[in-house]
Amino acid sequence: MNATGASMEEIKLWKIVSDASDKPAAVPVQPIDATSTEKLLEDVLTLSPDLLMPGLHVIGRQTEIPGGALDLLGVDDDGRLVVFELKRGSLTRDAVAQAIDYASYVGSLEPEELCRHINENTGNGGTEPIEEFGEWYQRQFQRSVAEIGRPRIVLVGLGVDERAKRMVAFLAQCELDISLITFHGFKHGCETLLARQVEVQSPPPPGTKPRNQAKLDALLAGLGTKENYEAIAAATKQGLGASASQWPNATGYSFYFPEVSESGGSVNRCYLALYTPEQKKGLVQVYLQPRAMEAVGEDNVQKSADALGARLAIKPSKCGEIWLDGHKPAVNYTESLKSLGQAVAAGWKAKMDNQAKAQAAEVGSAA
């Protein structure tokens, strides 16, 4: 349902059950009042940003700017800033104006000012700490913060009035990247359920993933290393296993594992990347994030470098670099890269298992 001016009572949920004769019946799930829902909303969205959009990184919460505080500041999976305006109640036209005001301020910041704002507020309110935003952004998206572009705007509330919804729809039609989401709470036994409704969705920008893949394909074709590079990437992904996701950048692939952030939310974190910068004329950089170095162990990474016939360089940031010749047949590297990927995956799994055991122990001691 997507009615204008939707209120919580207009969104209904039913549980389908069967009676003794196996005939299905719909049992209504009772809504809870907005006051109870609003107390949960900001915490839940901070800890579980995928409720707002897939692949979202929440990088700021209640960060002060002229005129007020940004409820949530994020970076989407395309590397674009997202300004979230959350209202504990129904969204009004004042919320629309406020969100545009905040986004216009953030969009006016020079890259150095933006980095400073994020660095000074990182880790607040349960968000994941970022040591240095400029470096983090470069690692995540393989481009400078100077290319981050204008921020997106997302309004979030427990309902919306007709004028606010009409304004957001009009702005979206005028090519302002602005969306509107409402949440509604329900009680089912001891469980609290949230229903998410996208009231207005701005037209999606051209997909970054296909665009990056096209750029990478063109780069590899120009370097004459496409076949070897893809074989190297395939061997690495095979070693990392099904839990790892692969994302194309303009100069290579990055590989991510799902993790639980310090604040308890679900995030995807890069462990390893294969970059092939144009100026390196076909060399392939095996780039291991500090978490990958820790997962495998520096001695074992050194053994992998030796098996690849390459040198391991440890940077001050604790990242590891191994350079390969992309013009050489991939068969020279594939087995060793597969083994390295397996070691990274094993270290990641051990980390997840240890976190789960620690969490279970905490729950047990609190019981």
Cα 115 to Cα 130: distance, rounded to the nearest angstrom: 11
Predicted pLDDT at 288: 93
- Using alpha carbons, select from 75, 85, 28 the residue that is nearest to residue 53: 75
Predicted pLDDT at 124: 85
Q: Name the residue with tokens 């939310």.
A: 265
Structure tokens at 266: 């679900």
* Per-state percent for the chain, helix, strand, coil, to nearest 5: 45, 30, 25
Structure tokens at 21: 């004769």
Residue 171 to residues 33, 93, 266: CA-CA distances in angstroms?
31, 12, 32
- Phi-psi map region of 5: left, alpha, beta (phi>0 left; psi -120 to 50 alpha): left
Predicted pLDDT at 269: 80
- What pLDDT digit, counting tens, does each position of 98-122 carry? 999 999 999 999 999 999 999 999 8
Single-letter code of the amino acid located at 277? P
- What pLDDT digit, counting tens, does each position of 191-200 carry? 878 788 888 8
The reported pTM is 0.59
Cα 220 to Cα 38: distance, rounded to the nearest angstrom: 50
Task: Name the pairing type of β-strands 178-188 and 152-157.
Answer: parallel
Model confidence at 312, pLDDT cuts 50, 70, 90, reads: very high
Predicted pLDDT at 10: 61
Q: Which residue has the higher pLDDT, 264 or 256?
A: 256
Structure tokens at 312: 């391991």
Model confidence at 48, pLDDT cuts 50, 70, 90, reads: confident
Predicted pLDDT at 38: 61
The DSSP secondary structure of 111-123, one letter per residue, reads: HHHHHHHHHHHTT
Predicted pLDDT at 115: 94
Model confidence at 205, pLDDT cuts 50, 70, 90, reads: low
- Is domain 208-366 given the CATH code 3.90.1150.20 in the classification? yes
Model confidence at 76, pLDDT cuts 50, 70, 90, reads: confident
Predicted pLDDT at 322: 97
Length of the chain: 367
Q: Which residue has the higher pLDDT, 37 or 324?
A: 324
In the chain, where the domains are located: 8-200, 208-366
Q: What is the mean pLDDT of residues 27-52?
A: 76
Q: At what angle do helices 93-108 and 162-173 cross, to 10 degrees?
A: 40
Model confidence at 123, pLDDT cuts 50, 70, 90, reads: confident
- What pLDDT digit, counting tens, does each position of 128-165 carry? 888 899 988 887 776 788 889 889 999 998 888 899 99
Most confident of 1-15, 43-57, 76-90, 287-301: 287-301
Structure tokens at 53: 């959009």
Cα 197 to Cα 123: distance, rounded to the nearest angstrom: 29
User: What sections of the chain are H helices per DSSP?
Assistant: 34-47, 93-108, 111-121, 133-141, 162-173, 208-223, 226-240, 290-296, 298-308, 334-366
Predicted pLDDT at 268: 73
pLDDT at 8 over 60: no
Structure tokens at 158: 């427990």
- What pLDDT digit, counting tens, does each position of 166-198 carry? 999 999 888 889 999 988 878 878 887 878 888
Predicted pLDDT at 224: 96
Handedness of CA 32, 35, 36, 40 (dihedral sign): positive
Model confidence at 237, pLDDT cuts 50, 70, 90, reads: very high
Class of domain 8-200: alpha beta
Predicted pLDDT at 211: 81
Phi, psi of 81 (to 5 degrees): -65, 145
Predicted pLDDT at 206: 58
Cα 69 to Cα 358: distance, rounded to the nearest angstrom: 35
Residue 281 to residues 224, 313, 325: CA-CA distances in angstroms?
9, 20, 9
Mean of per-residue pLDDT scores for the chain: 86
- Using alpha carbons, select from 97, 134, 139 the residue that is nearest to residue 118: 134
